[in-house]
Structure 1
């Protein structure tokens, strides 16, 4: 897939959470191609081996450990673009949810997005602006089964985006949400049989499979100066499934 080059992204400092695999790896690859200074946080790294040595910096960190995350971000220095991508969509049923599991799923899928945003905002303000891109999900819009806590968190992300966009707009900090449909990653493929995957494709207006590079293409636009008046809203990439 041929992708646009955005001159405004060259030399920008970019931080991607969950960048070690899946959609996050696609984001890392996409921003490296733009000539950005790319940092990514994850517990494991399967993307660096596919890149030129030194083109991105991996920070091993548990995103549920907020003090550790804040230390990593402080070490990076001012960030121009934050992509809050990390999440975990393990399946679960209501009868199996405990208070501890609830707290863990909210920590994994919602809490760190707010604290990562909070940590980068002072640097963005000092630099005269920035972009925060949160990653939501089609799941709660469709009401998919066995994901009640994941969908609760993802719904909250859209509300958080609206609130942060209003609060940070006077400082020229844009906040948006990307809402992917079913993206073909190794993790997602483990949930679907070939028949189940075909059912999703059949429900889409466009019959292609969404790849991480497709999601990255949307993120690159929203992070660039070409999207300088885009804030406060969600942007879909679901091939028309919803």
Structure 2
């Protein structure tokens, strides 16, 4: 974190990150740990979760976020071990490609469970303690995919477009209790998964042509926006969406 901000208000703060075993989520976990926050993260990737936990000292709980009972139990365990959650980062998602003609109702429902439903139930689970404290920050991870009218994954883009509505609705409902709710909207972030599956030279070149800034957006670029929204520096910022995409939208 040399050369980047440190936030005194994040020291000792209890932070929960979903999908923290890889990609953007792993970087968010690491950056909060460097801020001396008390960090926990949930993921169903046992090997990746254990690796990130070793590297960061964060508390890892294996959890399939599609299972709401397991999600609730995991959040209760985080509170028991670290204290009430003060910052929630709803990061977990999976942008698997799929054609419209191949989608059946069960797959559609599973995509909503993977990319949207858990965000609401995580927020629901942490809200009572935040209300009692009179403060809290919930940060939902969106996507520019639907803003760019991207095809090839209609269930994913539908779920991610709904994150905007969820964010603004919760911001209104929870603001009276001092709880802030915002959305971070990544562009194409070059995680290991993206590099392995879709970052062909032609695809990268097309992205650079659209972006104002001619460099790849990387996980730390997203993590730094998340840190600011979690910190007291953004104390009067809520119901907002922040696009981090190098100026591509």
TM-score for both structures, normalised by structure 2:
0.94
CA distance in 2, matches of 1:164, 1:5: 28
Contact 2:26 2:52 in 1 (8 A): no
CA distance in 1, matches of 2:16, 2:132: 17
Superposed displacement of residue 192, structure 1: 2.6
For the pair 1:241 / 2:248, whether they are aligned, the reply is: yes
For the pair 1:193 / 2:200, whether they are aligned, the reply is: yes
Q: Which residue of 1 aligns with 2:187?
A: 181
Q: Which residue of 2 aligns with 1:131?
A: 137
Q: Which residue of 2 aligns with 1:72?
A: 74
What SS does structure 1 have at the residue aligned with 2:176?
Answer: helix
Contact 2:16 2:87 in 1 (8 A): yes
Aligned-pair Cα RMSD in Å:
1.3
Between 230-239 and 51-60, report the one with greater CA deviation.
51-60
CA distance in 2, matches of 1:51, 1:17: 13
Residue deviations 1:164-204 (CA, integer Å, cap 9, x gap): 00000010000000000010101112113111112101210
Contact 2:30 2:56 in 1 (8 A): no
Between 58-67 and 123-132, report the one with greater CA deviation.
123-132
CA distance in 2, matches of 1:164, 1:14: 19
Superposed displacement of residue 53, structure 1: 6.1
CA distance in 1, matches of 2:146, 2:55: 39
Contact 1:17 1:24 in 2 (8 A): yes
CA distance in 1, matches of 2:128, 2:41: 19
Contact 1:29 1:51 in 2 (8 A): no
TM-score for both structures, normalised by structure 1:
0.97
Q: Which residue of 2 aligns with 1:162?
A: 168
Alignment coverage as a number of residue pairs: 242
What SS does structure 2 have at the residue aligned with 1:216?
Answer: helix
Contact 1:179 1:236 in 2 (8 A): yes
Contact 1:48 1:56 in 2 (8 A): no
1:56 is aligned, of 40, 55, 58, to 58
Superposed displacement of residue 127, structure 1: 1.6
Q: Which residue of 2 aligns with 1:141?
A: 147
Residue deviations 1:55-114 (CA, integer Å, cap 9, x gap): 201110100000000001011111000000000100001100000001000000000000
Superposed displacement of residue 48, structure 1: 5.2
What SS does structure 1 have at the residue aligned with 2:243?
Answer: strand
Contact 2:112 2:155 in 1 (8 A): yes
